Structure 1
Amino acid sequence: MKRVLSTLLLLASLGSSALAQSPITLNVALDKPTGNISPHMWGVFFEDINLGADGGIYAELVKNRSFEFDQPWMGWKKLENGPEGSYLLLNDGKRKGNKRYLRIHSAANLKLGLQNEGFRGMGVKAGAAYEFSVQYQSAAKGMKIHVELLDQQNKVIGTAELPLESVGSWSEAAVKFPANQTTDKAKLNVWFTGTGTLDVDMLSLFPVDTWKGRPKGLRKDMVQMLADMKPGFIRFPGGCIVEGRDLANRFQWKKTVGPITERELIINRWNTEFSHRLTPDYFQTFGLGFYEYFLLAEDIGASPVPILNCGMACQFNTGEVVPLDELDTYVQDALDLIEFANGTTATKWGK
């Protein structure tokens, strides 16, 4: 048996040696394809992981802009304390989606302020313009807002004044200003001056030069990289992130469309996933929602492949499964999404 095995190995060795010495010519006729490959065979898969959406392709620079994180002051710090009641965080159950807002009260022309750290810092470029905006309400005029961009040494590298003209119901004010220095670790100061009471929410900072110039849109450089790949499809908003750690925190597409101020923030399922690398500031604001995903796909010439929850939470976490007699909601979500994407403006979800 050993002699037979040795003989076979010798023959195999001689054969492979002969093949290695024989030249092989492979002719490829590029002008004569034998079959068509669908352009939808390759594409991109997007998931909000590693700050992929908030802090990534979604160009918002302010973290926790509406105080909706589980810890509402996360990302913020007070620059001046003032007397008790100068900063009051309110929770209004009548507001849709975004229930918290901050009340600033200055009884004696105090200078009160907030600082936001951004997503591990704010990346800004010298000469580029940025737009600060805020939702506010006040019973009377008397308060003003002054904003500053600071570098890592706390040097002011951009500044603007924001007069508040409206009185009564919630309004939005915005101002554009340039940065005079490039840094990837900028911070934003928001100062409140004057006398009175001012409610503020959705304190926001975006680059003016976004993808296709859309206000409060996506990062131009990152979307361009996706477009340059010429993907046949874009799958969104992810895999595990759609399931959620439990069904209560699953991705629900209907909560990601409509006015930005009414989109209900939820915790990102990657927030506490890895005990050795916790990211307690990882949430989903849904400024990048299903409408924006569809628009992105259209912009880069890719077919949209939306992913929906089928009634099951991540099996690696809780593994929750919805009872069969409660599955209708999930089926209806899928049907409504088809109408949202393809329906006319006369339909409920297509309008």
Structure 2
Amino acid sequence: MYLIEWEFWQMITESEPKRKASKAEMTSSEIRMTNEFYAGDLEEEFNFQPASEKPQTRGPVYAFNENFMEMRCGGSEEKRGLLTLAVLGGIIPVISVTTISAVSFLWIDITDHATRSFITVTLTLIMTLIAATVIYLYAKHGIKLTRLEILTSRHLLIRFNRITQQVHLHRPSYCGGVVTFPWKTTGSTGLYPEDDSLSVGMRLGLIWHPIHTGLPHMEMALLGKQGQGGSELRDEWEFIRRYMEEGPHAVPRPRLSTQLPSPIQAFSAQFEGLGRFFRKSSWLFKLAMLMVWPAFVIIGTAHWASLLLCWRPRWPKVIREAGLPGKPVPSPTTLSDYPPEIQERLLANADRWQLKPGKRPAKKPRKPRTPKARKIPT
């Protein structure tokens, strides 16, 4: 499911009326938080120094060679299947039943003159209106949600090309499209040991800020599987950093995953980030997990159906050939690569990423409360 990427792209291409309406609903503290970005915060995230002594990746990795490494992206892969279940188990049956009923009533009215009456004609009009309304609402509002995991690219991909020193993101156009960035403009969220406790259930995040890319908007990618705490995110970032800086010999060779719609991937995705927690949990919790196994089977099956109903993503030719002898180097993405309407909206939202100079001021320590003097009754 590409829900996070889709929502982020909707935000940075938001029209002016919608942005004014959403801003009017924000509280003063929320508005203050959106304007509290400092240049010092960004400098800390763009750090190419060693972050871990154990570089390793949890995958999935689809390609690994001297030229490039390719990994899976996506911020909500473990939720994939829920939307497919709703569409295949709810929306499609409703559309089918209402459409077939309307066509059946209409066919009877046309072919069987003996049974035609005011009531049958009225029922035909009602069923036709219901079917048309359902189809219209789904076409206008439902299809754009359905394509987040059905009839779209099977996975979001990220490719690290160490020959050209570039990073490529492969996404559908409604999530930002295919973009190219220089490696040295890449920021990471997996850098600091003090954040290890926050990595439970989180993925490694990479960011590209306008101050480095020249674009009017920020880009992001959430890599691989969910973390289980500890230093997993830093280990994965160190794996990527060493591969790009030193080469494939500097990291352990990862186990490659298939891009085919594997049922193993579909069922295992539900348990990403839970392995360590499950091992340390009580027997009562493990028993409860066993009691709800039918739900995991249903969601896993829907996840697999989603993979089957999608196609394997394919890179543009210039990116596929990048790094080969005599082949051109892909140009980094610029504002002119987007359609005029998208350019206008990206520029209208450029102020979201403005940075305040300097470093974030340290929080003032709160003064300890002095206990009130207790009155002694006389």
Fold shared, TM-score > 0.5 on shorter chain? no
Q: Which structure shows the higher helix fraction?
A: 2
Q: Which structure shows the higher strand fraction?
A: 1
Instruction: Considering Cα pairs closer than 8 Å and 6+ residues apart, tell me whether 1 or 2 has the greater RCO.
Output: 2
TM-score between the two structures when normalised by the length of structure 1: 0.22
TM-score between the two structures when normalised by the length of structure 2: 0.21
